[in-house]
Chains A and B, each alone.
Chain A
Amino acid sequence: MNSENTRITALFEDDSLAAEAIRAIKNAGWRISDVHGPIPSHEISGALGIKKSGVGWFTLCGGVIGFFLGYFLAVFTAARWGLMVSGKPVLSYIPFFIVGFEFTILFAVLGNVLGLILLIRLPAYRDLPHIAPACSADRFGVVVDFGDSDKDEARRFLTNLGAEVPESSDRETES
């Protein structure tokens, strides 16, 4: 994009407002670079057309791996010496299930966490300075890119949508 390009964060009190705004902005052909909020919101995700997250796949893999790993560990260790205890078969699968189960959960969770870290890309401290603090408290912030030219018009446009547009929030994007 061209160097004179402004990015404005419009703050909304309510996610439904924000959602409408997002649609409006889209229709107006402006680019929404980002939306922040203190809580997830169906409307906004809807407006943005966000799809379901794929983190579940990580979890599933983790679970499956864990299950077999657990069983394998129990079987392997028991088989090393083949010590008989209480007349029970050396490889007694019924109690081993417990190990398998716990490992399933453990690795599913680890998979889940891994998934989150990879997908959300945390930790990431880079763009901390740029976000509006209010967005973690009680405002939904919609970050919009404008051509430098129609800056004031955009500002008006947004305020009409019911947004408050703090001065501080527009900044030059260096590119």
Chain B
Amino acid sequence: MDRRTFLKLAGMGSLAFASACTLENEKNLYSLVRIQDDMVSGEAAWYASTCRQCPAGCGVIAKNREGRVIKLEGNPLHPVNKGKLCIRGQAAVQEVYHPDRLQKPLIRQNNTWKTMDYDEAVSLLAQKTRKAAARGQNRVRMLTGIEGDVRLNLFQRSLDSWGSRAPTVFEPFSHENLRAANQSVFGVNGIPSYRIEDSDVLAGFGADFCETWLSPVEYSRKFKQMHAFAEGGKGRFFHVSPWRGITGANSDAWISCAPDTESVICLGLIKRILKENRAGNIPEQAGRQIRKIAEPFDREKVIEISGIEPDLYDLLSESLLQAKKPLVIGTAAPGRDLHALQANAAVNLLNYLLDPDLGKIDFTRRHRAEKAATHAEILSFFRDLESDPADVVFLNNVNPVYAFAGQKGIKEPLEQSGSFVACFSNFMDETAQCADLVFPVSLALESWDEYGAYPGLLSLCQPAMKPLNGAPSVTEVFLRIAPKAAENRETAREELIFQVQQNHGIDDEKTWLDALSRGGLFDKASRRESGAENPGLQDGFKDSFSDFEISGTEESPQISVLPSVRFFDGRSANLPWVCEIPDPVTQVAWQSPVLVHPATARDMGIEDGDMVSITSSNGEISAPAYKSSDIHPGVLGLQAGQGHTEYGRYAKGQGANPFALFSVKSSPLSGTALYETRDLQVEAAGMQQKLASTAGSLDPHGRKIALTVSVDELLEPEGEKKHGLAMHDFPLTLPLPEGYDEQRDFYPPHDHEDYRWAMAVDLDRCIGCSACAAACYAENNLAVAGEEQIINGREMSWLHIERYWQIEDPGKSVFLPMLCQHCDNAPCESVCPVYAPHHSKEGLNNQIYNRCIGTRFCAQNCPYKVRRFNWFDWKWPEPLNLQLNPDVTVRSKGVMEKCSFCVQRIKQAHGRAKNEDRKIEDGEVTPACVQTCPTDALVFGSLMDSASRVSQMVKDRRAYQVMGYLNTKPAVIYLKKVVHAV
């Protein structure tokens, strides 16, 4: 663990004692009267916790300043995310301070909401449940999102004590197809984890592991372990899917296929493997069965059905055959039906054939997502509710009304049936709207809890600050309303400790506090039980392929729900940063446009921004069109997560909700849900909507901006250094004295004091997930401009993920993080009449807000267009302002701002170093963006320290400077993306 992590951990305290005494102080700001135990004013305290934005369960450490959490970072010790976070994890903190977060329980009385105290609410619930329990079996039902074991147990015990069934766990992205496939092929009803990092050829059939699939941060990291250029090579990754998405953009070849034909392609591959007897040794008769299934799918047929590029198909099959350590991962994305199941089953078979003992699939380390019930079960839950209304229905942190927007029979039972619906939710979302009691509970950052991403992993949540709305945690609520279950434990903490002692064998205070301060028990879990036998092929697998009908390419347009790295299943859609940061692929913020293939658009006669209305028998949505070559012709793609009708000011009315088009029915086969969009109609609505796009052209116009290099080139010996003057050939001019050349520089070289801060960006590692951007918003108090102002071209992002597609050569698509380059010859500086921007002694391009008078000349003259002007006084609706980082100025209207390399962190490091009378060490300063990058694409350090990682990377022959021919000598040095000559 590097030094900084250690320091941070040393800083990590626990509120164990502080929060024991629950005295109310509103807003719970640090007051001089009473300092909490481990709080020093001006010093950050870090509390380890677990991110609950999605079922992945990454470890976080929360930065607490003066009593409030102002920033989340990944917990470096946590096995899942190893210190990294995704965009949603970074934005999670906004949930706490959300202006629309409910402050008190709301009870519905003749269709108006009345607030009530928490105690009233609790006693009301207690009394309702008591009555219900008295009235017999199953009078209390519960639908909950995935929780940690502690809560699930508690819920179960409580419901038990009321003589009711166990709670149903609902996740919109239930990955049930995957489970079903695993069940039928391997007899494992669960979701194993995949050792992507161990493979050399990876074929994905739509699994969007860079966006939402199972555990994005984890898999992004592992993906880059196999796919980043290292000692002379890099793995290959093929993405077979009707749409490209971030994951596809990171593949060596995106193989566009007609929707619902992944299984066909997969079977085609199986057929070929069997034909060439390349399969590992598998039981004779299994082989025969498989052969039988794959029989119909010879090359031509596959190509004809799926409409994929023949040579790409061959490439894929070749590479898989050549591969030493091939791995295939299944399909994903919500709103898929039987085909998804079959695709996953076929994928399993393929994996089995390629490697019969499934060495790269870890069946012991199973994702917690598997706990989710199938949608079929969810439907029956509501059907029961309709047929036989319960007395009390608990909804914990779920939003089925949104997730099943197109489905009849979800809303109604909640509203009409006589049952008393209590909804534990911090926001008035679509589901809460139907409840009788909306009960805000403390969020993960405010409460005692536990969430293990996989079995045997203890990952704790602890209050990193007191509940902003003074709400109890849902645990506490249940402890109080279900005394039998509580066994006279009163606080969530007691419950937690009790269960942890039982299940994780923590017996002494020390281990406990240690675990608490580190965020959990990790070493134990990361050791996977040896000798755990991997399951083999089950007989049942055939069933998946009975009644196998091929849809293939259809004429009628199809709608696909695309996974969104920003909104997940829609629960993040209310977080301003998530909305403000544009989607990395479309570069559109705040809106969810319909992706249309240019050809399709031409046929439909629509242009970018034309409203497209999509109607199915279940519902209608309309969204602006966005022409993109990243989607299969004939398919319309719409990202999941937006189109809320409630859920706070930032979510309400933004974008469209594709789920509104679907209805679900459970399939006769293996109980997986079937999604239907019957009689789908798509037409141009004739209206216009300006796209809130933050990007101009996606073509680099050959300006030496986002460069790629092929592996083969890199294997050849390096040619002599460039020395030309113009765009076609220019040298790397480091922002150091040696970067100056009297032949080409009017200005004499200049030295720096001890440090010359610089950043290296390895484009080969950047996957474009935009987590860095979010981290920057959080760390530097960036303003949220809002949809309208983004349309006016006034986004405020200091760090922007730019995407440069080479249409003719998709393999060369590059995500390029663009931030202030801190040039040595920064064009922005000298044009300022008042020295507001100038060159610091350590090479930073300082921007002095107080001095700036807003001539905007610097922004005009910046070739990288990274400067942002405060066109207005931006607003932070209360209490969002409580999140602001006290170490960073909030800029007023009329001043220019831009990336500062997180100068506040540099200054801190200076302070530390000074106290300890030493120089700042390499890696001691990490700007927010660098800290959070899941794939370590960003490295920060001083160029004057020749040992620093930056200095090392700069020596890499891939190193170049964006538009280096301008001779601005940027301090952000990019490393060319390495591509396979496809």
Contacts and interface: CB of A to CB of B under 8 A. Distances in A.
Q: In the complex, are there CB atoms of A and B closer than 8 Å?
A: yes
A85 B750 contact: no
Contacts of A81: 835
A88 interface: yes
A86 B835 contact: no
A163 to B, nearest CB: 63
Contacts of B828: 86
Chief secondary structure at chain B's binding surface: loop
A81 B846 CA distance: 15
B827 interface: yes
A146 to B, nearest CB: 67
Interface string A63-93: 0000000000000000001011111110000
B747 A87 contact: yes
B750 A86 contact: no
Interface string B736-772: 0000000000011010000000000000000000000
A85 B830 CA distance: 5
Contacts of B747: 86-89
Interface in A81-111: 81, 83-89
- Max count, chain B CB within 10 A of own CB: residue among A86, A87, A88: A87
B835 A87 contact: no
B838 interface: yes
Nearest to B829: A85
B62 to A, nearest CB: 39
A30 B802 CA distance: 93
A85 B839 CA distance: 6
A87 B824 contact: yes
Contacts of A85: 826, 829-830, 832, 835, 837-839
A83 B838 contact: yes
B835 A89 contact: no
B969 A84 contact: no
Interface residues of A, number: 8
Contact of B969 (A83, A87, A89): A87
A104 B377 CA distance: 88
Nearest to A84: B839
Contacts of A88: 747, 825, 830
Interface string B827-853: 111111001011100000000000000
B571 to A, nearest CB: 47
Contacts of B830: 85-86, 88
Interface in B606-630: none
B459 to A, nearest CB: 49
A2 B823 CA distance: 85
Interface in B791-839: 823-832, 835, 837-839
A33 to B, nearest CB: 56
Interface string A19-33: 000000000000000
Nearest to B735: A87
Contacts, number: 38
B191 to A, nearest CB: 55
A86 B825 contact: yes
Interface string B456-474: 0000000000000000000
B964 to A, nearest CB: 15
Interface residues of B, number: 18
A128 B770 CA distance: 82
B525 to A, nearest CB: 52
- Max count, chain B CB within 10 A of own CB: residue among A85, A86, A88, A89: A86
Contacts of A87: 747, 750, 823-826, 839, 969
A89 B748 contact: yes
Interface string A106-150: 000000000000000000000000000000000000000000000
A83 B839 contact: yes
B829 A86 contact: yes
Contacts of A86: 747, 825-831, 839
B839 to A, nearest CB: 4
A85 B851 CA distance: 15
A81 B834 CA distance: 12
Contact of A84 (B750, B827, B831, B832): B750
A99 to B, nearest CB: 12
Interface string B965-982: 000010000000000000
A100 to B, nearest CB: 18
A85 B748 CA distance: 13
Contacts of B839: 83-87
A85 B832 CA distance: 9
Interface string B25-55: 0000000000000000000000000000000
A81 B851 CA distance: 14
B258 to A, nearest CB: 55
A84 B832 CA distance: 12
Nearest to B828: A86
A84 B825 contact: no
Contacts of A84: 750, 829, 838-839
A81 B969 CA distance: 23
A88 B823 CA distance: 12
A80 to B, nearest CB: 10
A88 B969 CA distance: 13
Contacts of B750: 84, 87
Nearest to A86: B830
Contacts of B827: 86
A84 B824 CA distance: 10
B829 to A, nearest CB: 4
A152 to B, nearest CB: 74
B821 to A, nearest CB: 13
A87 B751 CA distance: 10
A50 B830 CA distance: 53
A85 B858 CA distance: 12
Contacts of B824: 87
Contacts of B831: 86
A84 B828 CA distance: 12
B863 to A, nearest CB: 12
Nearest to B838: A83
A118 to B, nearest CB: 36
A85 B410 CA distance: 64
A85 B837 CA distance: 8
A88 B829 CA distance: 10
A89 B746 CA distance: 9
A96 to B, nearest CB: 12
A81 B839 CA distance: 12
Contact of A83 (B748, B823, B825, B835): B835
Interface string B219-230: 000000000000
10 contacts: A83-B839, A84-B750, A86-B747, A86-B825, A86-B827, A86-B828, A86-B831, A87-B826, A88-B825, A89-B747
Given A85-B838, A86-B829, A87-B747, 16 more contacts: A81-B835, A83-B835, A84-B750, A85-B830, A85-B832, A85-B835, A85-B837, A85-B839, A86-B826, A86-B827, A86-B828, A87-B823, A87-B825, A88-B747, A89-B747, A89-B748
9 tightest Cβ-Cβ pairs between the two chains A and B: A86-B830, A85-B829, A87-B825, A85-B830, A84-B839, A86-B829, A83-B838, A87-B747, A85-B838
